[in-house]
Every structure is written in C-alpha cells, then in structure tokens.
C-alpha cells in the first residue's frame, strides 16, 4: 500500500478528494440538505437576492439568527433594479432539522426533516430565487445529482467498451486488430461536441429529462471509448509478450481467461487514472448541452441549465447570484477531479513504487 501512503502525502490530491467527497455526500442527501423543493415557487418572490440573516430584533435585542418575510417590489424603470419589501414585524427563526416538505430518505425511508430552514412565514434563500421564484440553493443541490452522476455513468459505459475492444485488438492482432482500429480511428475523427449538439437537437421534445439524460450519456460514451481502446491495445501488445502470459498460454489457458485474468488487470493503474481524468469531460459536455438548451430541460435542474441564465444580459448584471454559484461548482468539480487524477498518477507511477 505504498501508493496509498504517497497519495496521503499529496495535499492537492487530498484537497481534490475532500471536495469531491463533500459534493457527492451533499447531492446524495439532496432532499435533506435542500430546504425546499427545487420545483416549488414561493409567493411573489421571483428574483430575490440572497436572504439576509439577522441576529438582533428591531429593538436591538439579540434573539438569534432569523429572517423576515421578503417579497418583490416594483421595478425602477431607470435602473432596472427591483425593489424589495421586507416585513420586519414577523421575525422567523432559522433552525436546524426543521420539518418541511416530505420526501423519502435514500428513496426508501419517509422523512420530512431538512438540514436547515425557518420557523414562521419567512423563507431562507441562501442564493436567492430565480425568475420562477424557486429557491436557487435547492435547485443547485438537486442539479448536482445530474451533473455529478453523468460522469460516473459515462465511464461505466465507455470504459468496458474500451477495455474489451482494446484488449481483443491487442491480444489477437491480425485482421481483427486492423478492423477494430479502423473503427476506432473513425470514431476519433468525429468532433464530439458538434455530434452532441446535432443529435441532441433532433431528440423528441416531449421526452422526459431522465430519458434525455440517458441519451446524452450514451452519446458521449459512444464517442468516448475509442481513445481508451487505442491506449489499452498498446499496453496489451506489450503485456502479452511477458513471461507469465506465455506460461499461462503454454499450460492451455483460453484466450478469454488470459485476457481477463492476466492482461487487463495489468492495465488497472492506467484505467484508474484515466477514469478520474475523464469524468470532467462528461460533466463539461452535459453542462454545455444544458447551457445551450439541448440537455436537461427545465424545470428539472442541472448545473448546466442553471447557467443558461447567463445568456440574459440583465440577469447577468442585476442578478449575479443566479450565475456564479453553478459556474463555481463546475470549476471546482473539474479542478478536484484533475487534482485527484494527478495525485493518483504520481502515486501509482511504477518508477515511484520502485523507489
């Protein structure tokens, strides 16, 4: 386990792993962490800024964290800014584990408690509300389920394909190798983003977001396994000449047994590193498609379609709380995967292991 010791000594890899662990824990428990439903609109509360939390009442007495009922007011024609009405006569305490909209914890256990919320008519919108008066923080947490899971589902499809075809091509060689590699070369010449845009644009408009999500994953995975197959082929060409493979072949082991038992496990180091570094590309692809309106469709949230508000110049200037949080989360996620991937690459480097 020397590689594990080296990984623990890499602070950047630890930072990346910590960020990813936090993000995945939050989205797994999204119903508990989010104070409101991502589809629930609040009354007369569209495009509200992040809720201000107060600690003292109007008389200057400390009463603990609380908020006041806030609603939208008229828009100033000259500046375009919206007035905010705050009812300071009804302080609403901010509490942990407050009852709210019922849901099923982990999809099984009926539950109605949320990590935080308010007691009273006031609402706590940590990141404000969108144009449909929905809590932006709740939509961001639930949207992470799509954006963070698409990479994991993608590598579960593309990596087995790359391993199988790359392993077969490298082990058997000959006409089969030439045939598979020609297919790989054709797939590698396809411009991925343009193919995604073209195929996503012709999808039926009435399909559900779940179906659209699966189709996007399949499309990305279909064009993503070719590069992996080519690298695996090169490694298998080298591994199959090793003495332990030759010995296994000499005692009559079947090619399938040799590939699955001896050859492909030797590529595990590369696969782990490649998987870690490939997930960000799936996340970015989904975000780009959703950003331009061809991915996950509202009202279902994803970090990509939450960013689509950036196409509206007035929102970009007057309501920046709708733009920066999903953009920062995408950047942090991609950065964290890259930091972890670089750390794994250094820890699993055979030259480092020898030292």
Q: Are residues 168 and 216 in the same domain?
A: yes
33 in any annotated domain:
no
Pick the last residue of a domain from 94, 124, 154: 124
Asked if 139 contacts 301 with a C-beta cutoff of 8 angstroms, the reply is: yes
Q: Are residues 102 and 246 in the same domain?
A: no
Give 350 or 319, the one with higher predicted confidence.
Answer: 319
Predicted confidence (pLDDT) at residue 17 exceeds the cutoff of 80: yes
Whole-Å CA distances, 309 to 68, 305, 316, 320, 325: 27, 8, 7, 9, 12
The domain containing residue 110 runs over which residues?
A: 51-124
Give me the CATH number covering residue 291: 1.10.3720.10
Q: What's the N-to-C CA distance of the chain in angstroms?
A: 14
Nearest to 100 by CA among 135, 147, 129: 135
266 in any annotated domain:
yes
φ/ψ (deg, to 5) at 213? -60, -50
Q: Are residues 212 and 266 in the same domain?
A: yes
Beta-strand relationship, 82-86 and 70-75: antiparallel
Give the span between the Cα atoms of 276 and 271, in whole angstroms: 8
Q: Are residues 117 and 145 in the same domain?
A: no
Q: Which residues 6+ apart lie within 8 Å of 247 measured at CB? A: none
> What pLDDT does residue 349 have?
62
7 in any annotated domain:
no
Give the span between the Cα atoms of 350 and 291, in whole angstroms: 41
pLDDT, tens only, 22-81: 999 999 999 999 999 999 898 888 888 899 999 988 888 888 899 999 888 777 666 667
Q: Are residues 209 and 264 in the same domain?
A: yes
Whole-Å CA distances, 15 to 70, 145, 269, 333, 343: 38, 21, 21, 11, 10
pLDDT, tens only, 198-255: 766 676 767 777 677 777 777 777 777 888 888 888 888 888 888 888 888 888 888 7
Mean pLDDT score of the chain, rounded to an integer?
A: 82
> What pLDDT does residue 231 have?
86
Q: Are residues 145 and 119 in the same domain?
A: no
Give 227 or 292, the one with higher predicted confidence.
Answer: 227
> What pLDDT does residue 138 have?
93
Give the span between the Cα atoms of 176 and 255, in whole angstroms: 14
Asked if 71 contacts 44 with a C-beta cutoff of 8 angstroms, the reply is: yes
pLDDT, tens only, 71-103: 887 776 666 677 788 888 888 999 999 998 888
5 in any annotated domain:
no
Q: Are residues 348 and 218 in the same domain?
A: yes
Q: Are residues 66 and 207 in the same domain?
A: no
Give 213 or 20, the one with higher predicted confidence.
Answer: 20
The total of other beta-carbon atoms located within 10 Å of residue 11's CB is 10
134 in any annotated domain:
no
Q: Which helix (H) or strand (E) holds 82?
A: strand 82-86
DSSP state of 310: G
Pick the last residue of a domain from 68, 95, 124: 124
Q: Look-up: residue for tokens 């698409």?
A: 150
286 in any annotated domain:
yes
165 in any annotated domain:
yes
Q: Are residues 208 and 275 in the same domain?
A: yes
Q: Whole-model pTM above 0.85?
A: no
Alpha-helical segments (H) within 34-105: none
pLDDT, tens only, 183-203: 888 888 877 667 767 766 676
Domain count, the chain: 2
Whole-Å CA distances, 344 to 24, 67, 274, 351, 354: 19, 45, 10, 13, 16
284 in any annotated domain:
yes
Q: Are residues 225 and 170 in the same domain?
A: yes
Q: Are residues 116 and 145 in the same domain?
A: no
Asked if 87 contacts 69 with a C-beta cutoff of 8 angstroms, the reply is: yes
Q: Which residues 6+ apart lie within 8 Å of 56 measured at CB? A: 62, 63
Q: Are residues 305 and 240 in the same domain?
A: yes
Give the span between the Cα atoms of 6 and 350, in whole angstroms: 12
> What pLDDT does residue 355 have?
46
């Amino acid at each position: 386990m020397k590689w594990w010791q080296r990984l623990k000594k890499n602070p950047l890899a630890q930072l990346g792993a910590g960020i990813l662990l936090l993000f995945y824990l939050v989205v797994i428990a999204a119903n508990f962490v989010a104070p409101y439903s991502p589809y629930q609109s609040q009354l007369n509360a569209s495009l509200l800024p992040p809720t201000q939390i107060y600690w003292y009442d109007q008389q200057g007495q400390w009463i603990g964290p609380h908020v006041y009922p806030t609603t939208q007011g008229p828009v100033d024609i000259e500046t375009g800014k919206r007035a905010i009405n705050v009812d300071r006569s009804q302080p609403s305490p901010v509490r942990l584990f407050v009852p709210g909209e019922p849901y099923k914890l982990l999809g099984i256990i009926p539950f109605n408690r949320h990590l935080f919320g308010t007691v009273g008519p006031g609402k706590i919108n940590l990141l404000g509300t969108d144009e449909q008066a929905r809590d932006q923080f709740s939509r961001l947490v639930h949207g992470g389920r799509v954006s963070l899971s698409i990479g994991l589902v993608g590598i579960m499809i593309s990596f087995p394909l790359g391993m199988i075809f790359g392993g077969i091509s490298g082990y058997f060689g000959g006409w089969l190798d030439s045939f598979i590699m020609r297919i790989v070369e054709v797939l590698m010449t396809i411009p991925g983003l343009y193919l995604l845009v073209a195929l996503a644009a012709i999808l039926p408009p009435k399909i559900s977001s779940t179906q659209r999500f699966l189709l996007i994953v399949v499309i990305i995975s279909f064009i993503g396994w070719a590069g992996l197959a080519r690298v695996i082929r090169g490694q298998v060409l080298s591994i199959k000449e090793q003495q332990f493979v030759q010995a296994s072949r000499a005692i009559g082991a079947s090619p399938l047994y040799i590939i699955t038992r001896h050859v492909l496990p030797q590529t595990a180091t590369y696969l782990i590193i490649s998987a870690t570094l490939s997930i960000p590309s799936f996340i970015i692809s989904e975000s780009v498609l959703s950003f331009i309106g061809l991915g996950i469709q509202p009202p279902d949230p994803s970090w990509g379609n939450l960013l689509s508000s950036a196409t509206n110049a007035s929102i970009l200037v007057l309501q920046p709380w709708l733009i920066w949080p999903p953009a920062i989360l995408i950047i942090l996620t991609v950065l964290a995967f890259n930091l972890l991937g670089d750390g794994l690459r250094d820890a699993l480097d055979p030259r480092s292991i020898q030292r």
